[in-house]
Amino acid sequence: MMNSTPAVVTAELRVHRGKSDVITDLSVSVPRGQVVGLLGPSGSGKSTLMRAIVGAQKIAGGTVTVLGAPAGSPSLRRRIGYVTQAPSVYEDLTIEQNLRYFGRVIGAPAGDVARVVAEVDLAPQLKQLAGSLSGGQLNRVSLAAALLGSPELLVLDEPTVGLDPVLRHDLWQLFASLAQTGVSLLVSSHVMDEARRCDRILLLHEGKLLADETPAGLLQQTNTLDADDAFLTLIARANHRDGAAA
């Protein structure tokens, strides 16, 4: 079966943005049916990598293979759900109108709007203009849009930003249950605490892969007790290496 192949494989990926190389020689893989956390300092290239995976980013070299096809292939457009870092919804439409439209574009079944709205806990606001929602609510509308049509791969750029612990907990539970049904998820985050909830963690630093580990493995490897410390240790080691090389 095709499903034994990873959801995403990049090989020697290079991305150039503005005047600099944002991603250099990155080879990673995202297994199927797991929640994979994409972590790294601000500016390390998380969003850029995600854009490359969904086919929105011009790349300078290497390959990105998604669900067995080259990234950006037309056949993938129905099979990937993507949440951009800034909520990408129409502020002058209601939640329902937003989701109806995106649902039509993706070819989602009619009942899908109600389903995804319930999943992100926004049913009471269904008729509210998106522009009048709170930041966290707006983020969840953006997430709901990505869940339409039950895609096989979800690429979520900081979907839990601005949410309270209860909502964050609920969403991570949703991610886990989606993974259980075979959906592959790549979720970027700034909150190290969220790393615990992933099946695997990819740690990016200046466009390079620092670690590809399970949360437990990461703690073990760095001899630390929590994700924050593990992260700091790995970054410090990387900086040390870079410093030594220079």
Ligand X SMILES: Nc1ncnc2c1ncn2[C@@H]1O[C@H](COP(=O)(O)OP(=O)(O)OP(=O)(O)O)[C@@H](O)[C@H]1O
Residues within the interface to Mg ion (CB under 5 A): 46-47, 85
**Residue 14 near which of other proteins, Mg ion, ligand X, none (CB within 5-8 Å, type-dependent):** none
User: How far out from the chain centre does Cα 80 lie?
Assistant: 11
Site for ligand X in 65-124 (CB under 6 A): 85
Tokens 């929105």 belong to: 56
**Does 48 sit near ligand X (CB under 6 A)?**
yes
Nearest to 178 by CA among 60, 2, 34: 34
Single-letter amino acid, residue 239: N
Residue 153 — φ and ψ, nearest 5°?
-130, 130
Site for other proteins in 201-240 (CB under 8 A): none
Least distance (Å) between residue 154 CB and ligand X: 17
Tokens 């709007």 belong to: 113
Stretch that binds ligand X, among 38-46, 101-109, 117-125, 169-177 (CB under 6 A): 38-46
**Does 43 sit near ligand X (CB under 6 A)?**
yes
- Which runs of E-coded beta strand occur in 102-245? 153-157, 184-189, 200-205, 208-213
Q: How many C-beta atoms lie closer than 10 Å to residue 166's C-beta?
A: 9
**Does 118 sit near other proteins (CB under 8 A)?**
no
Contact 213, 34 (CB under 8 A): no
User: How far out from the chain centre does Cα 132 lie?
Assistant: 26
Binding mask 78-117 for other proteins (x = CB under 8 A): x-x-x-x-xxxxxxxx---x---xx-xxxx----------
Please select the residue that binds ligand X; options are 7, 13, 22, 138, rule is CB under 6 A: 22
- HEC profile for 83-115? ECCCCCCCCCCEHHHHHHHHHHHHCCCCCHHHH
Site for other proteins in 1-40 (CB under 8 A): 16-17
Please select the residue that binds ligand X; options are 13, 30, 39, 45, rule is CB under 6 A: 45
The footprint of other proteins (CB under 8 A) covers: 16-17, 51, 54-58, 72, 74, 77-78, 80, 82, 84, 86-93, 97, 101-102, 104-107, 129, 145
